[in-house]
Structure 1
Amino acid sequence: MNLSIKESYSRPFEFIPQTVLWTIKHRDSEKNNDNLIGINTSIILNLTSLVESFNKELMISWIKNHLSESEAEPEIENDDLPNCDISMGEFLLERLTDELILEIESSEWNKQLKLFTKITNNEVKNIVEQETLNGMNQLFKYRNIITHGNKLSLVEWNYDNKTSERLEPNKFEAIFTFLKQQNLVSGKLKYVKSNIYELTFSNEVIDYFIVTINKYLDQVKESFDISVEINKPLFELKI
């Protein structure tokens, strides 16, 4: 019995850019603040799905491309040598490759950064500019807060007529500090006449992350030498 298996697939990064652009077009005409918060949180989820699916396709395409380049028949000096070692070597290579691809397919952002280093023997900080990488890390902290349904709390201390404030959970405090550094929010939260979500999920914040993602895509594709011949959807991806 002859068995033939052929797989065809697609990933979210192929359709999400159009979805995000369509959403932004309608978002920019929306006046209700609650609706704007909901729209922008949904954009965050779409953006992070785009990035993670892009990373998976990128690494797998890179691996398969390099394997295809090394598939030349090995030279055997002694015709009397058994070919069992060659067959076993091919089997082990295929098995290890399959395991690596399965690891990539089940990975999320933090794991993917480690896999980049594992595959290319190069640290991510040497692949992506530090400012871009910082922005991407903050983006995924945003995503985690949304997907896990965390509350955002403003906590104020008053001691000896001095006040200080912080956001909780602590992870979001780091995000807020980052947004201040990027001049996307300013001042103390207690003086802002809007809720925390409205301030930190503003149109300006979301648009900043879109710019950051496009920088990330360009820098990673260049580092991995992705061409239109290797993977056209990856090569052309941009929001």
Structure 2
Amino acid sequence: MVRIMVVDDHAVVRSGLIMLLDGKHGMQVVGEAADGDEAIAKAEELQPDVVLMDLSMPHGKDGLTAAGELKKLLPDIAILILTMHDDEEYLFRAIQAGASGYILKSAPHDELLTAIRHISSGNAYLHPTATKRLMSDYLEKMKSGEHAGTYESLSDREKEILAKVAQGYSNKEIAEQLIISVKTVESHKSNLMEKLDLKTRPDLVKFAMKKGLLNFE
């Protein structure tokens, strides 16, 4: 039995989803919430397998914020974004927040059931348009020579250290400039190279050049 929690600020939408899912298709609705704050509190209490999460909730935390916090608190939970927004920016942000799936509210009931089954089994599910967009974005990145890791995945400090390493500063010089320890610099450098899948300093310099980070002023 797949245990589900429904999160949407519209009571009518929640009721409709509960009627569709509860006690049918091997699924049980164990709770509902009207905003992100309530969703986080109830998910901690009820421990559902899947959370159906709306994106736009005007009161409390929105769906993206709640999804990110839920994944930190309950890493094994599967979050399915159910939204009216067929928008590339929302799609990418949802994936970054840790969502396992993204489906439109206009999708047929059968597609929603399929999505729930997929993500409850540890797989991902995106509606067809979203899949096409992700593939297009991936191919564009491959053509431009970007690495598997992205610059955006780095923390602000890692970006800072990336630029300074590429500009030729030693770990000691960077530590003095940023008023941190050499050990901390080495740790950040190791982390950023792992995130970007870079093996050598020349690889790092090439990456920095492509990003326009070699400003020596």
So what's the TM-score if we normalise by structure 2? 0.27
Structure showing the higher helix proportion among its residues: 1
Higher relative contact order (Cα pairs below 8 Å, separated by 6+ residues): 1
Give the alignment's TM-score, normalised by structure 1: 0.25
